[in-house]
């Protein structure tokens, strides 16, 4: 499988910057955010809210719910970075994503952010390497092991591999 259409909509410089962090698992998602000039804060957000992104006076800040598990926080950060890259023109009023990655944006825009987030934090070349590395394991143990190595949820890994 290749990258999503959202990946190909990015500027070449953005793709190159992200690729420079995709040498091994886990992807250093916080470093990607910093390299894009995004401030990231762990915050206590309302129940059911995983993350939010807002731009004020050309400074972009992402808040991640400190009460979510680390794997959830990592994917949420990738999702909010995807909003930054794809939907920056909509950030003035902020985007708040609930635990199902729904916001006031359309479901189509949220799906775009999810696809690009997967490209960023679960790049295919590393997913395929991990799949081959753990190929002798049962499917369930293989996905759990890849999730642990990626510092993501087993559910996210299964979705990436089309198993959910």
Residue 53 lies in a domain: yes
**What is the domain extent for residue 45?**
5-122
Predicted TM-score of the model (pTM):
0.91
What are the DSSP calls for 10-79, one per residue? S-HHHHHHHHTT-SSSSP-HHHHHHHTTEEEEEE---TTEEEEEEEETTEEEEEEETTS-HHHHHHHHHH
Determine the pLDDT at residue 19.
98
CATH classification at residue 82: 1.10.10
Q: How crowded is the C-beta side of 55, counted as CA atoms within 13 Å?
A: 15
Domain count, the chain: 1
Determine the pLDDT at residue 34.
98
Residue 156 lies in a domain: no
Residue 138 lies in a domain: no
Residue 57 lies in a domain: yes
Measured between alpha carbons, how far is 23 from 17 in angstroms, rounded to an integer?
Answer: 12
For residue 112, give every residue at least 6 positions away whose Cβ sits within 8 Å of its Cβ, in sequence order, or none.
Answer: 6, 82, 86, 87
Residue 147 lies in a domain: no
Determine the pLDDT at residue 94.
67
Measured between alpha carbons, how far is 33 from 134 in angstroms, rounded to an integer?
Answer: 30
Residue with tokens 């000039």: 37
Determine the pLDDT at residue 84.
95
Residue 88 lies in a domain: yes
Residue 144 lies in a domain: no
Residue 11 lies in a domain: yes
Determine the pLDDT at residue 128.
96
pLDDT truncated to tens, each residue of the chain (164 aa)?
A: 689 999 999 999 999 999 999 999 999 999 999 999 999 999 999 888 899 998 888 899 999 999 999 999 999 999 999 999 998 887 666 676 655 555 555 678 889 999 999 999 999 999 999 999 999 999 999 999 999 999 999 999 999 999 98
């Amino acid at each position: 499988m290749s990258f999503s259409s959202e990946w190909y909509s990015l500027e070449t410089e953005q793709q190159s910057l992200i690729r420079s962090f995709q040498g091994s698992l886990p992807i250093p998602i916080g470093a990607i955010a910093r390299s894009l000039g995004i401030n990231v804060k762990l915050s206590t957000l309302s129940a059911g809210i995983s993350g939010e992104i807002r731009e004020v006076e050309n400074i972009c800040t992402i808040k991640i719910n400190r009460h979510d598990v680390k794997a959830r926080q990592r994917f949420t950060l990738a999702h909010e970075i995807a909003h930054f890259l794809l939907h920056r023109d909509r950030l003035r009023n902020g985007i708040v994503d609930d635990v199902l990655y729904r916001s006031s944006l359309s479901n189509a825009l949220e799906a775009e952010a999810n696809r690009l987030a997967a490209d960023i934090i679960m790049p295919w070349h590393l997913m395929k390497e991990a799949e081959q590395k753990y190929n002798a394991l049962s499917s369930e143990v293989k996905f759990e092991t890849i999730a642990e190595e990626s510092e993501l949820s087993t559910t996210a890994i299964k979705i990436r591999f089309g198993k959910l």
